[in-house]
Structure 1
Amino acid sequence: MSNPTVVHLALPKGRMQENVQTLLADAGIRLTFDRRGYRPTLSLPGFETKLLKPQNIVEMLHVGSRDVGFAGADWVAEKEVELVELFDTGMDPVRIVAACEPSFLQEGRPRPGPFLVATEYERLTRRWLERERLEGRVVRTYGATEVFPPEDADCIVDNTSTGATLKANGLAIFAELLRSSTRLYAHPGSMDDPAKREVIEHLVVLVRSVMDARKRVMVEINVPPGQLEALVAVLPCMRYPTVSPLHAGTGFAVKAAVPRDGLPTLIATIKAAGGTDIVVSDIAQIVP
């Protein structure tokens, strides 16, 4: 009797952890944690799970001790590893930027000549310096990179979501190296294994169903018989709306999943097309 397929999943510990765990919970995947909290059990069969720092997830995926995991695109680029990107969640968006005190800049660029760059992103920074033909020397940091200028470095390369921390430390952004977000990656060899690939692709379907649902809302509308086609024509639904007759032939009930970000304008359009009694509700998952 053959052993069941087990896929080794890495979940991020730290800044990304809450959003990823909420994403899984919204997909109906429950996590039960052990006493130490590093090896949760998933309610979804076929997975053995461990919590790791995002940087370590990238490395473990690269060497193949983990089959699939959530990590930031910035660390995949920094580690220069070949992984299969399965899905971009769009969560935890950050920019990798170069920043310094304004006095260090000359016409928006670092002053000519040698200078010191403090960063956790050594490879990304060196590639940027080479690309821009700058004479920077890299100093590796281990957190709190923003405090290095001006005494211990001329500028920094760091990640930022709002820029508030940089600004609070008197630093101004003068270059953007990369944009990153939380993404689901797989080891290439795991995707070449048909049994593992099937398990992994099922996880992708569940994750994608939640992310797609977050972009849409369900609208339910009543409309008189003579205005049904005009209403259907203005609904940006996924394929076709669901239409049901109302009691005594008084009209129709129309239901459609529509883009969330266009809702304020759409409601006015629906009203103009004859729609009434509009009900808007959240969607948990959308599976094609």
Structure 2
Amino acid sequence: LKPQNVVEMLHAGSRDVGFAGADWTAELDAHLVELLDTGLDPVKVVAAAPKELLQDGRLPSGRTLVVASEYVELARRWIEKQPFDATFVRSYGATEAFPPEDADLIIDNTATGATLRSNGLEIVDVIMESSTRLYANPDALKDSSLGSRIEDLVLLLRSVLDGRSRVMLEVNVAQEDLADVIEILPCMRRPTVSRLHGDQGYAVRAAVPRAALPELLLEVRARGATDLVVTRPSQIVP
């Protein structure tokens, strides 16, 4: 199913929960409840135009401009806020190919901007940011039994996403270095600390942000930690 169809089904109540992009939820003005932002498939909905059209980096205001987009409502709302007159042309894909012959500018989504640049287009405005999100029909949440199951679903999905963003770091450390190592561990609450066999120091475990791992490994080692082990949790349930 396309994201547009998922949004329409949720809005109509024929489905209780589903994944869709925030851009199409806004485009269709659907009255849904956002349950979880997965952060996946991040894009920006932007207005972009050929560099030759711009005047000091801005769109000209002295004439009527032609705007092409798949986003009918987002484009309409954006045009209403602009200081120039514009007419709208609906596209059904390959919107970046419209300028300059068939449109002056476009409104489209982009992840990196590479496609826009390859077509000689420059971003002039960021209309919104979007990603894949979990939505629910409001009536589904009002049902106590169904609402409870939806909450459980969100908990499990969030635990997988949290598991992807963290790693489990395990180190051994002598008693005299324990406080220094614990001080810099960016754990979720507090690290797990247990004595090693024969009172030969301590084992320390903490779920740390994956992005911080390279620098963290060097820092804890410099503070006396040894036998560093990194593993990936599949889920983290708070």
* Post-superposition offset of 1:130: 1.1
**CA RMSD after TM alignment:** 1.1
Q: TM-score, normalised by structure 2?
A: 0.96
Determine the structure 1 residue equivalent to 2:11. Answer: 62
Q: How does 1:261-276 map to 2 (within 5 A)?
A: 261-276=211-226
* Post-superposition offset of 1:197: 0.6
* Post-superposition offset of 1:266: 1.3
Q: Is the counterpart of residue 151 in structure 1 residue 151 in structure 2?
A: no
2:57 to 108, 112, 120: 108
* Paired residues, number: 237
Distance in 2 between the 1:110 and 1:236 partners?
Answer: 46
Q: Is the counterpart of residue 205 in structure 1 residue 149 in structure 2?
A: no
SS in 1 for 2:81: helix
Determine the structure 2 residue equivalent to 1:259. Answer: 209
Determine the structure 2 residue equivalent to 1:20. Answer: none
Determine the structure 2 residue equivalent to 1:237. Answer: 187
Counterpart of 1:241, as a letter, is P
Determine the structure 2 residue equivalent to 1:190. Answer: 140
SS in 2 for 1:109: coil
Distance in 2 between the 1:134 and 1:175 partners?
Answer: 14
Say which is worse superposed, 88-97 or 264-273, in terms of deviation.
264-273
Distance in 2 between the 1:57 and 1:251 partners?
Answer: 55
Distance in 1 between the 2:15 and 2:225 partners?
Answer: 52
Q: Write the deviation string for residues 70-120 of structure 1: whole angstroms up to 9, x where unpaired.
A: 000000111111110000000000010111111111222222220111100
Determine the structure 2 residue equivalent to 1:82. Answer: 31
Determine the structure 1 residue equivalent to 2:198. Answer: 248
Q: Write the deviation string for residues 213-247 of structure 1: whole angstroms up to 9, x where unpaired.
A: 11111000000122222222221111121122212
Q: Is the counterpart of residue 93 in structure 1 residue 50 in structure 2?
A: no
1:163 to 94, 98, 113: 113
1:73 to 2, 10, 22: 22
* Post-superposition offset of 1:132: 2.1
2:84 to 126, 130, 134: 134
SS in 1 for 2:158: helix
Distance in 1 between the 2:103 and 2:173 partners?
Answer: 66
Say which is worse superposed, 87-96 or 269-278, in terms of deviation.
269-278
Counterpart of 1:232, as a letter, is I
Q: TM-score, normalised by structure 1?
A: 0.80
